[in-house]
Amino acid sequence: MRQVGMRRASVSASLRTGDRCGCCRALAEGDVHIPFAQDSLVKQWSSMQNVIDRSQEKSKTPIQRNKYLLNINVGGKLFQIAYKVAARYPITRLGKLALYTDPMKKLQLCDDYSVQKNEYFFDRDPSIFHYIFHFYRSGVLWIMDEMCPSNFVEEIEYWGIHLKYSQHCCRILFEEKRDEVSEYLKIQKELEAELEPLDSVEQFEGKFLGWFRKMIWNLIENPYSSVAAKIIAVMSSFFVLISIVGMTLSTVEEMKHKTGKMWMEQLEMICAIFFTSEYLMRLISSSSFKNFLRAAFNAVDLVAILPFYIQILFENLEDGDMLYHEELHKVENVSKLGKVLKLIKLMRIFRILKLARHSTGLRAFGFTMRQCYQQVCCLFLFIAMGVFTFSALMHSVEHDVPGTNFTSIPYTWWWAAVSLSTVGYGDTVPDTVLGRMVAFACISFGIILDGMPISVLYNKFSDYYAKLKAHENEISRSLKLSRRICLKKRVLQKLSECCGANPRCHH
């Protein structure tokens, strides 16, 4: 009769992991069978356990450990693994511990060793070591969803176990979760860098006129530091709006006469003086001139004030030919120098970007565009593909119609771009049935295309805006609290000085 073999006791007894032909055979005399899920293999340990019975234990026989077992104490929990089981994976930490014969090499692999108990102590997480222990018994590394990815990777790297020993499905989900966590941490770090100022208060210590530059820095860069800093921040936004309104009104026909033009020039000069002084104050208070020039907001400030001075430079050019110079002002739209002047004046529109210094919404929008640049580039790529495709189709269908506007594919690009954006000006329309079918397909593709990035961009924008706003509120509360503490200290100091000066306060 066939002899019935013993089945290995395991949490996953039905799991088939490789060739395990020896798991269901009769035990030989020299074999040591170590069930995985028995309580005798995983024991709770505490340094204060059985303190009362220590004297009784000493009188009894000394502790005997099985010479075929590797006693592992991980964070206070005792695990027992057979030497043969650990030696199956020689590149792992426990595999080396089972194979090494030199005691010094073994001590380098663990944190401590108990000679009396023959235990190797490891100051690691015992909850994660349960999965490491299960790996040595079954050959499969299990991964649970509730684990922290970074902590789990750190632990398995310490024990020398590769992630490839896990199941394929679990490994894919774990890597996705790890990528999500790393991306989240990256975005959090970039958000903190976005909110951090270019300089800090500590950087002015020990530098030339450090107290003065620190005072100017607080006035310009830290609007929550004092009431004067808040006033300067409000004035900066006010002058930006006044400058944009003035530039807009200067194009109105009624404002082009002598009186209106004079008022617009004076307003532009006042705004330019304020922006210049603000830029110089930031430059003076900066601790690093190199970092100051690299900052994006400082580049915007420079672009905001350069057109005014370049315009003055061009207007005061004297080439020696006064007739040509007078003609230059008369035919400014035709002259090359006049076109350059108009372009320089148009650069004043970038002053509106200065509002991003004090607007959380604009900063969140810019941060969203930087984080979603791949999605935005894909959107523009799809738009370009749609424009080229539908313009070619419309030209091939409508070019034979008398009096058509679709005379060439480049002329059809405008119609395709307008139709894809679902604006539909109606200046160019198809006449044939096939042309209308192409137009319907183009509009339908545009509706689908416009709806794709809205959810992604809006969700990220709302998330970034909420985080930036929460960080600003936290900074504001901390500064208010610090001011209250400083006020209390000053009041107590004054009271102590008054009491010290007045001897009646002691009686």
Residue range 474-499, pLDDT digits in tens: 777 776 676 677 667 777 777 777 77
3-state secondary structure of 11: coil
Q: Does domain 210-321+330-356 have CATH number 1.20.120.350?
A: yes
* pLDDT > 90? residue 423: no
Let me know: does 204 contact 213? Beta carbons within 8 Å.
yes
Backbone angles phi, psi at 87, to 5 degrees: -75, -10
User: DSSP class of residue 113?
Assistant: E
> Quick one: pLDDT at residue 440?
92
What is the Cα–Cα distance from 356 to 304, expressed in whole angstroms?
13
Strands 119-122 and 69-74: parallel
Binned at pLDDT 50, 70 and 90, residue 406 comes out as: confident
**What's the confidence (pLDDT) of residue 337?**
64
User: What crossing angle do the helices spanning 296-315 and 336-346 adopt, rounded to 10°?
Assistant: 150
Share of the chain above pLDDT 70, in %: 76
Note the maximum CA span of the chain.
124
Position with higher pLDDT, 437 vs 63: 437
Q: Residue 150's pLDDT is what?
A: 83
The CATH class given to the 363-493 domain equals mainly alpha
Q: What is the spatial distance between Cα 52 and Cα 54, in angstroms, rounded to a whole number?
A: 6
Which among 311, 302, 299 has a CA at the least distance from the CA of 247? 311
- Calculate what percentage of the chain has a pLDDT beyond 90: 7
Mean pLDDT of the region 21-41: 39
Mean pLDDT of 176-189: 83
334 with 435: CB under 8 angstroms? no
pLDDT value at residue 121: 93
Domain ranges for the chain? 69-194, 210-321+330-356, 363-493
Cα distances from 335 to residues 250, 251, 338, in angstroms, run 20, 19, 5
* 189 or 33: which leads in pLDDT: 189
Cβ atoms within 10 Å, residue 239: 20
pLDDT band at 305 (very low <50, low <70, confident <90, very high): confident
Indicate if the alpha-carbon torsion angle 155, 160, 163, 166 is positive or negative.
negative
Q: Which pLDDT belongs to residue 442?
A: 92
Q: Where are the beta strands (DSSP E) in 47-206?
A: 69-74, 77-82, 112-114, 119-122
Between residues 260 and 317, the one the model is more confident about: 260
Rounded-to-integer distance, Cα 93 and Cα 311, Å: 73
Determine the pLDDT at residue 385. Answer: 92
User: Quick one: pLDDT at residue 460?
Assistant: 84
Whether the CB-CB separation of 284 and 204 falls below 8 Å is answered with no
Q: What is the rounded distance in angstroms from the CA atom of residue 166 to the CA atom of residue 131?
A: 11
Query: Average pLDDT of 35-60?
Result: 44
pLDDT in tens, 310-349: 878 877 764 444 444 454 444 444 456 666 777 777 777 7
What values do phi and psi take at 20, rounded to 5?
-115, 55
The CATH number of the structural domain formed by 69-194 is 3.30.710.10
Confidence of residue 45 (pLDDT cuts 50, 70, 90): very low
Torsion sign over Cα 89, 93, 96, 97:
negative
Give, for 278, the enclosing helix (H) or strand (E). helix 258-285
SS3 406: coil
